[in-house]
Amino acid sequence: MMLEVRNLEVFYGAIQALQGISFTVDEGEIVTLIGANGAGKSTTMRTISGLIRPKKGEILFRDKELKKVPAHQIVRMGISHVPEGRKIFANLTVMENLIMGAYTRTNKQEIQANLERVFKSFPRLKERVTQMAGTLSGGEQQMLAMGRGMMSKPSLLILDEPSMGLSPILVEEIFEIIRDINKQGTTVLLVEQNAFMALQVAHRAYVLETGRIVLSGSARELQADPKVRAAYLGDVSAAS
């Protein structure tokens, strides 16, 4: 097992955002967390990557507890977090953004090999290496954020809302790239409001509602579940 989250509780002041959630991610999987806005999906991702400290619970990455590990050290351990909203460096070039993603690494040959892998996944970035990141389209900025995340050579890539704000055609492209990244050997933990697309690419899924996991199973099982179909897949007939 690569990642195990046990009984995680997170508070924002007096407000409890996560109410004892538990889930696992195995090596080589794509696992998705789906749920409405405010369900706790992004909070979960930020807690795993060390940006938020939980009040209770455990986060085990390859049997090592992460709860008190600084965020930059978690990156060194092999977890890369591509946050909601992209958070690229708009005043730096595409290449400078990508190199920033490799800040934990020192082997220049490995960094170059990783660059080539990123350019293979995202050919458009190679065409725009000298362009200022802030002038890229929304889809290209998402590709850059994902490419930057890959530059640390993660074992586990955490993607938070990669399809947000993108056109349907670009959404299809981004999810195809996610599938390819996984096939190349990177485990993926995906948070996504577009439940239909998330369940298309994932192996397993968990449904979050108001800080609790209310359903889990294979992606295929959840695609067929009437509650999921009614609440997240727009199937009105499943609600009756």
Average pLDDT over residues 104-121: 91
Average pLDDT over residues 141-146: 94
Predicted confidence (pLDDT) at residue 58 exceeds the cutoff of 80? yes
Predicted confidence (pLDDT) at residue 145 exceeds the cutoff of 90? yes
* pLDDT one-digit tens code per residue, 153-204: 999 999 999 998 888 998 999 999 999 999 999 999 999 989 999 999 999 9
Query: What's the mean pLDDT when you consider all of the chain?
Result: 93
Whole-structure pTM over 0.75, yes or no?
Answer: yes
Predicted pLDDT at 40: 95
The rounded distance, in Å, linking the Cα atoms of 130 and 83 is: 23
Average pLDDT over residues 112-127: 93
Predicted pLDDT at 240: 46
Confidence category of residue 87, pLDDT binned at 50, 70, 90: confident
Predicted pLDDT at 104: 83
Predicted pLDDT at 136: 94
Q: Work out whether strand 187-191 and strand 15-25 pair parallel, antiparallel, or are unpaired.
A: unpaired
* pLDDT one-digit tens code per residue, 208-237: 999 999 999 999 999 999 999 998 887 656
Beta-sheet strands, E only, within the chain: 3-12, 15-25, 30-34, 56-61, 64-65, 79-82, 156-160, 187-191, 204-209, 212-218
Predicted confidence (pLDDT) at residue 67 exceeds the cutoff of 90? yes
According to CATH, what is the number of the domain 3-78+154-239? 3.40.50.300
Q: Kindly list the domain boundaries of the chain, sorted by start residue.
A: 3-78+154-239, 86-152
Predicted confidence (pLDDT) at residue 152 exceeds the cutoff of 60? yes
| Stated length of the chain | 240
Predicted confidence (pLDDT) at residue 25 exceeds the cutoff of 50? yes
Predicted pLDDT at 86: 77
The rounded distance, in Å, linking the Cα atoms of 138 and 140 is: 5
Confidence category of residue 23, pLDDT binned at 50, 70, 90: very high
Q: Exposed, middle or buried: residue 116 (CB in 10 Å: 0-12, 13-18, 19+)?
A: exposed
Lowest mean pLDDT among 53-62, 100-109, 128-137: 100-109
